[in-house]
């Protein structure tokens, strides 16, 4: 790899080119893991190096298995279609997506200036229609999403029969069980694509409305902090918080019914259960069922479970994410913590009244600075931002958590079916194939069944899966570059700034040599100041290590980590802007947060004393 030029201060001028990054020893053939369309190709080197790419560790913080590329591929495709083909968003088209050394990189595509100007009238017409009919269209959206989830649930990957039933002969159907098997796999992919299209149908419009308010406030109120604008829309009711709210209600009900001892007895809340009906979580539920009034609590548990426990401690974008509905030890662990806090006399609810009061105060103070004409414009923009703001988070529950949770369950069912046929050693090893390779393996399986012969897959795939497993493991041992190529003089693409926190200042900070030490800066994501010991968390599996009073440091957080927020004093992440999940959730839970630091999870060590200033966007290392 070519040496990156540095200034005397230790700051590089540019990030490495993807074509020059060294491959980890033993992973020289890593490119064979992924589809050609997501790889940097030698023939396109000039174009690749002319663009600036940032690592989307906010959504894909760890190395992807081959099948998991379906997430970033569909996300990039569907984001682009709504910007470029549906609503004709003036300044921005889509995002190019690449997978390099196992990690996801994105590069924003800005619309050419003349094209952007030409889009304006049509954008106003199309987006205006959605804004004017927001509630009705959103109700229709929810019906479409729930119908898609039901269709996903209905897919069954069953064993192929020894012979087609005689009744089908009588009816002259003329199709076999493999027809359904192959068709259901294609249906699974189609429904996943549909869910991702619904994901973006309203999302960029939601960001656009907030961005419109944001830019207007910057013009009307020079010097207004980003958090001042964010506070104008805080304290709203969001369905994304409903799973956590249900846990709190169950904790309160347990105390009311005298069941708290059963929930606080030594049980590892984050431990994996031993089987479908045994293990710590199921054993706790069985003990509650035997207790007086335990049935009352279990009825409330079942009512909350569907649909609100279709929630993962991850982000729903990886095949091995663990879901509350499947592993009751996960939500029971959170409930246990809430019960203990209730017994200590703590308030476990969100400080909603305080958030609303602050929202009213800030809005009123800034509105008073405007003349009547501008005040009317301000109030109109604010009204629209508040109307669309909940969707920016609510879609996360319906798509990433619920729909994708069902999708991954069906993927694992199919993988287990082919594992029983000898195609690979582990139940979930199909994830080491691309989705197109799976179609080939599935046809091999179906054709051999139809012919009465042995499939080729059991001889071909086991050693290949083991090779790929080894490659993924090697890639996962190295952290990704935060970005690739020379950064632009100024980052102006609005969604990159607001969602990912990719600003000119943040990019420059990423270029600083991480070995030089010193304090960190990031986005001022949620107000407040807190001192404490750091706790580095790289994955949901480490959440049970978080102790009371610590400061959580992570590459990125998930909204489903909210139940842990009662234990901690502040949050710091490597990536994320003022509209990232971490920023929004921390503001709603009144926790100081600094996002987009670039390197906090690698530069800070667990146990180190730090100070987080969520208003200034700084992280001070105290020792």
**pLDDT value of residue 162:** 97
Q: Which of 572, 443, 600, 589 is nearest to 510 (CA)?
A: 600
Residues 127/87, Cβ–Cβ less than 8 Å? yes
- Residue-by-residue DSSP string for 526-587: E--EEEEEEEE--SGGGGGG--TT-EEEES---GGGGGGGGT-SEEEESS--TTSHHHHHHH
Tokens standing for residue 123? 């954008």
515 pLDDT above the threshold of 80: no
The answer to whether 571 and 588 are in contact (CB under 8 A) is no
Task: Average the pLDDT over 230-242 and give the result.
Answer: 91
Instruction: State how far the Cα of 18 lies from the Cα of 38, in Å rounded to an integer.
Output: 13
Q: Cα angle at 366 between 365 and 372, to 5 degrees?
A: 105
Tokens of 45: 């080197």
* CA distance to 273, 441, 618, per residue, from 448 (Å): 37, 11, 62
Q: Assign 566 a pLDDT band (cuts: 50, 70, 90).
A: confident
Rg (CA), the chain: 25
Q: pLDDT for 344-354, tens place per residue?
A: 999 999 889 99
CA distance readout (Å), 612 to 216, 527, 536, 564, 609: 29, 10, 14, 18, 10
Sorted by sequence, the CB contacts under 8 Å of residue 301 that are 6+ apart come out as 250, 285
So what's the pLDDT on residue 579? 85
pLDDT, position 98: 98
Which residue in this structure is represented by tokens 């080197």?
45
Take residue 293 and report the two structure tokens written for it. 């009034």
Q: Is 45 exposed, middle or buried (0-12, 13-18, 19+ CB in 10 A)?
A: middle
Pairing of strands 529-536, 609-613: antiparallel
pLDDT (tens digit per residue) in 289-332: 999 999 999 999 999 999 999 999 899 999 999 999 999 999 99
pLDDT at 277 > cutoff 80: no
Q: Which has more confidence, 155 or 268?
A: 155
Q: State the chain's mean pLDDT as an integer.
A: 92
Task: Read off the pLDDT band of 271 (50, 70, 90).
Answer: very low
What is the CA 240 to chain-centroid distance, rounded?
12
Q: Give 83 or 506, the one with higher predicted confidence.
A: 83
List the beta bridge partners of residue 512: 11
Chain CA centroid to CA 571, Å = 17
Identify any residues that bridge with 523 across adjacent strands, giving them in sequence order: 595
Q: Identify the pLDDT of residue 274.
A: 41
DSSP 44: G
Mean pLDDT for 528-552 is 94
């046929």: which residue's tokens? 421
- Quick one: average pLDDT of 116-131? 96
* Distance separating alpha carbons of residues 446 and 180, to the nearest angstrom: 10
What proportions of the chain, in percent to the nearest 5, are helix, strand and coil? 55, 10, 35
Lowest mean pLDDT among 59-73, 114-128, 502-516, 546-560: 502-516
Query: Helix (H, G, I), strand (E, B), or coil: what is residue 55?
Result: strand
Helix (H), strand (E) counts: the chain: 22, 12
When pLDDT is cut at 50, 70 and 90, the band that residue 275 belongs to is very low
User: Looking at residues 167-180, what average pLDDT do you find?
Assistant: 97
Check residue 268 and give its pLDDT. Answer: 42
Q: Of 67-71, 187-191, 399-403, 577-581, which range is least confident?
A: 577-581
Per-residue confidence (pLDDT) for residue 6, from 0 to 100: 53
- C-alpha to C-alpha distance for 416 and 428, rounded to whole angstroms: 6
Residue (of 19, 1, 148, 85) closest to 484 by Cα position: 19
Q: Quick check: 494 pLDDT over 70? A: no
Nearest to 26 by CA among 351, 493, 492, 471: 471
Quick one: what percent of the chain has pLDDT higher than 70?
94
The answer on pLDDT for 142 being more than 70 is yes
Q: Is 525 exposed, middle or buried (0-12, 13-18, 19+ CB in 10 A)?
A: buried
């Amino acid at each position: 790899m070519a040496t990156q030029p540095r200034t005397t201060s230790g700051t590089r001028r540019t990030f490495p080119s993807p074509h020059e990054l060294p491959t980890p020893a033993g992973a020289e053939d890593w490119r064979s893991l992924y589809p050609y369309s997501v790889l940097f190709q030698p023939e396109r080197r000039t174009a690749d190096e002319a663009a600036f790419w940032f690592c989307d560790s906010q959504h894909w913080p760890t190395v992807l298995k081959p099948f998991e590329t379906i997430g970033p591929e569909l996300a990039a495709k569907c984001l682009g279609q709504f910007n470029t083909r549906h609503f004709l968003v003036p300044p921005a088209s889509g995002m190019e997506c690449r997978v390099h050394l196992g990690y996801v990189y994105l590069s924003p595509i800005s619309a050419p200036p003349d094209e952007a100007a030409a889009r304006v009238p049509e954008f106003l017409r199309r987006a205006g229609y959605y804004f004017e009919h927001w509630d009705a269209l959103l109700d229709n959206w929810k019906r479409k999403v729930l119908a898609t989830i039901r269709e996903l649930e209905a897919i069954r990957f069953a064993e192929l029969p020894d012979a087609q039933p005689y009744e089908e002969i009588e009816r002259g159907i003329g199709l076999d069980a493999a027809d359904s098997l192959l068709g259901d796999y294609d249906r699974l992919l189609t429904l996943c694509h549909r869910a991702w299209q619904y994901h973006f149908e309203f999302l960029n419009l939601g960001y656009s409305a907030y961005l419109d308010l944001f830019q207007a406030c910057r013009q009307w109120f020079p010097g207004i902090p980003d958090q001042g604008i964010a506070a104008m829309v805080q304290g709203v009711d969001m369905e994304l918080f409903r799973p956590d709210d249900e846990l709190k209600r169950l904790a309160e009900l347990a105390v009311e019914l005298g069941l708290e001892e059963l929930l606080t007895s030594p049980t590892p809340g984050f431990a994996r259960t031993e089987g479908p009906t045994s293990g710590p979580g199921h054993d706790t539920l069985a003990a509650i069922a035997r207790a007086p009034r335990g049935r009352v609590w279990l009825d409330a548990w079942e009512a909350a479970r569907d649909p609100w426990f279709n929630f993962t401690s991850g982000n729903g974008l990886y095949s091995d994410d663990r879901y509350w509905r499947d592993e009751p030890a996960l939500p029971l662990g959170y409930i246990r913590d809430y019960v203990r806090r209730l017994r200590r006399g703590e308030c476990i609810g969100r400080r909603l009244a305080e958030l609303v009061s602050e929202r009213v105060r800030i809005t009123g103070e800034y509105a008073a600075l405007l003349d009547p004409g501008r005040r009317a414009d301000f109030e109109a923009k604010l009204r629209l931002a508040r109307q669309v703001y909940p969707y920016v988070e609510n879609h996360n529950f319906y798509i990433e958590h619920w729909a994708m949770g069902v999708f991954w369950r069906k993927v694992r069912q199919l993988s287990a079916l082919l594992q029983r046929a000898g195609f690979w050693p582990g139940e979930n090893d199909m994830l080491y194939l691309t989705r197109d390779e799976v179609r080939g393996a599935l046809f091999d399986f179906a054709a051999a069944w139809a012919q009465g012969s042995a499939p080729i897959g059991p001889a071909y795939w086991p050693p290949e899966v083991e090779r790929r497993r080894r490659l993924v493991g090697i890639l996962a041992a190295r952290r990704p570059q935060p970005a690739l190529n020379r950064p632009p003089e100024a980052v102006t693409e609005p969604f990159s700034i607001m969602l990912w926190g990719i600003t000119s200042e943040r990019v420059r900070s990423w270029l600083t040599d991480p070995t030089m030490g010193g304090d960190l800066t990031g986005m001022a994501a949620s107000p407040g100041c807190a001192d404490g010991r750091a706790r580095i968390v790289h994955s949901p599996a480490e959440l049970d290590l978080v102790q009371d009073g610590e400061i959580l440091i992570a590459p990125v957080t998930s909204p489903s980590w909210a139940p842990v927020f009662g234990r901690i004093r502040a949050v710091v992440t490597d990536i994320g802007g003022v509209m990232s999940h971490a920023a929004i959730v921390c503001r709603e839970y009144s926790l100081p947060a600094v996002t987009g630091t670039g390197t906090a999870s690698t530069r800070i060590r667990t146990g180190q004393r730090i100070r987080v200033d969520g208003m200034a966007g700084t992280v001070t290392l105290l020792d």
